[in-house]
Amino acid sequence: MTVVHIPNSTILSSYARHFMTEQQEKEAKGARGFGSDGSSKTAKSTVASVEDSSSVKAGQDITIPQLEDYCDDFTADIKNKLATLTLSHETYSEALENREVYLKHPPVFSHKLEIDAPITNQKNSGRCWIFAGLNMLRQHMMKEYNLDELELSEPFVFFYDKLEKSNWFLENILRTLDEDLDGRLVQLLLAGPVQDGGQWDMFVALVEKYGVVPKEAYPETVHTADSEQMDWLITTKLREYAKEIRTEHANGKSIDELRMMKDRMLREIHKVISVSLGQPPKTIDWSFYSKDKKFHEFRNVTPLEFYKNHVKQDCTKFVSLINDPRNEYMKKYTVDYWGNVCGAGSVHFINLSVQRLKDYAIRVLESGHPVWFGCDIDKFFSHSHGMMDTEVIDYKSAFDFGFGMTKAERLQYGDSTITHAMVLTGVHIEDGKTIRWRIENSWGASVGNKGYLTMTDRWFDEFVYQIVIEKSELSKEVLDVLGQEAVVLPPWDLMLGVFGK
C-alpha cells in the first residue's frame, strides 16, 4: 500500500483571502475526499491511502453515484440556478463585475504626467511590447516639440523584429544540431519561431540597430494589424528550413555550408515580410505643426538619425527590474535562448521585491516620466471600466470559492506569467499610501477610460512582474547587481520569456 501525505494546513495569501469565506478558509487548511457511497465530505485524516501503485497509474474514474451527488448538491442551492441563467448569456467579466470596486477607484490621480498622448491600437497582434516602448519614447518628443499628438511607427520596428527573429531561430537550430529532435529544447524552439511577443531588451536591440520613424512614414498594413497569416507563413517556412538544415548536417555538410543555406532562407523570409508590409524607408522627411501653429520640417533623415537626434533617449541606459518571488532577490537573471538580434546579447533582469519596484516606479512618475511595465493582464480585469483589481470580478458570489495560490505558486504551476506590456503614466497616493495607478494601454480608445486603465495597488502586488527604469534612478546597491554573472534560467521558463497580448 502506498501512503500519500496531504498537508493539513496551507498559508493563504492576502489575494486568496479576498475571495474566500471563513468556512472555505477552514476547509482549505484540510483535505477533501469522498466517502464509500461516493458522497463528498471533508477528510478527517491528513493521510490518504492508495491500494497499490497500479491503481494510481490507471487512474480513478468518476463514479455515477459520485456524479449524482454533485448534481444533487448543485440543484439544492437555488442561487446556482440564478447564476446559470445569468452566466449562460454573459461573460464572467460582464456579469460578475464588482461595482463597488470601480466606484471606489475613479480615474483621478494625485500624480499624473503632464502629457496625455493619443491612445494607440495594436489591433489583432501581439505587439504590445513595441507599442509600450514607442509610447514611452514619444512622451519626451511631444514635450520638446510642443506637439498635441505623435505616434511612432510600430510597423517599422515590427518588420525588423520578424526578420531578426527568423535569423535568431535559424542560428538556434545551428546551435542545437546535435540535440534530439524530439527533446524538450528543440521542440520548444520549433513551437514559436517568430511569435509577435517580445521583451524590453529585444525592443532596445531593434531601435539601437535600425532606429525609429514616425507612423506616417511607415503606416499599418493588413498584416501588421492582423499578423496571424504572415506569422503562419513565416513559421511554416522556418520549420521547413530547420528540417533541411538538420538533414544536411546529418549528411555531413559543414557549418559554413549550412550558413550559406541560411542566407538563401533569410532572403526568402525577407521577401515574405517585404511583400506583406512593404519595405521600410531608408530616409524620411518629417514635417509637422506644433501646438503654437508653427511649421517644422526635417528632410532626408535616416531612421537612426531620427532616433538619435529627435527621440533623444538612449534606451541602453534602461534596465529591467522584475519581481519573481520564486527566485532569490538582488540577483541578475537571464533566459537561455531568448532574444531576437544576434550580437545584441540576451535579455537580462534584476530581481527585487515588489515594494522596491513600486518605489522606483513612483519616483520616476513623480519626476514626470513614464514607466514601461509588464503584467498578467488576463487576471481580474474589467474591460468595460478598464479596471484591474483582485476583486473587480466577483467569482466568489457565483461559484462560492476563492483562490489560494501565492504569486510564486502561480508562476510555478503555470497559472500566471507576463502577458502584456503597457506604460504607467500616473499614481494616486493618500496619506503616504499608494492606492491606484494610471496606465496607458494600446488597445484603442474604446477600452477603459478612453483607452486608459486603472490598476489598484493590490493588483500590482499580485500581477505586475516587470518595470523598466533608467539606471541613474537605481541605488548603488541595485546597480552593482548588474555586474554579477547572470543566473541562467531554462528557455521554458516563460515568466521571463517573451510576451505579447
* Residue with the three cell numbers 521547413: 240
Q: What are phi and psi of 178, to 5 degrees?
A: -100, 5
Active-site residue identified among 98, 135, 172, 441: 441
Measured CA to CA in angstroms, residue 485 lies from 193, 346, 357 at distances of 27, 13, 22
Q: Amino acid letter at 93? A: S
Annotated active-site residue in 310, 385, 420, 428: 420
Can you read off the three cell numbers belonging to residue 405? 495560490
Tell me the longest C-alpha to C-alpha distance in the chain: 85
Q: What is the 3-class SS of 431-487, one letter each residue?
A: CCEEEEEEEECCECCCCCECCEEEEEHHHHHHHEEEEEEEHHHCCHHHHHHHHCCCE
441 is catalytic: yes
Q: For 270, how many CA atoms within 13 A lie in the half-sphere containing its CB?
A: 10
Residue of 113, 112, 115 whose CA lies nearest to 141: 115
For residues 358 and 424, what is the distance between their CA atoms, to the nearest angstrom? 11
Please, which contacts does 23-27 make with residues 24 or more away whose CB atoms are closer than 8 Å? 24/400, 24/401, 24/402, 25/402
The CA distances from residue 301 to 326, 352, 486, in Å, are 47, 41, 38
Concerning whether 323 is annotated as a catalytic residue, the answer is no
Q: What DSSP designation does 309 have?
A: I
Estimate the crossing angle of helix 255-277 against helix 154-175, to 10 degrees.
160
Check: CB of residue 358 under 8 Å from CB of residue 434: yes
393 SS3 class: strand
Catalytic residue among 98, 105, 128, 369: 128
Q: Are 297 and 309 in contact (CB under 8 A)?
A: no
The angle formed by the CA atoms of residues 355, 459 and 198, to the nearest 5 degrees, is 85
Which residues sit opposite 121 in a β-bridge? Answer: 443
Please write down the HEC assignment for all residues of 356-374.
HHHHHHHHHHHCCCCEEEE
d(CA 236, CA 242): 10
Residue 375 burial class via C-beta count within 10 angstroms: exposed 0-12, middle 13-18, buried 19 and up: buried
As annotated, the active-site residues are 128, 420, 441
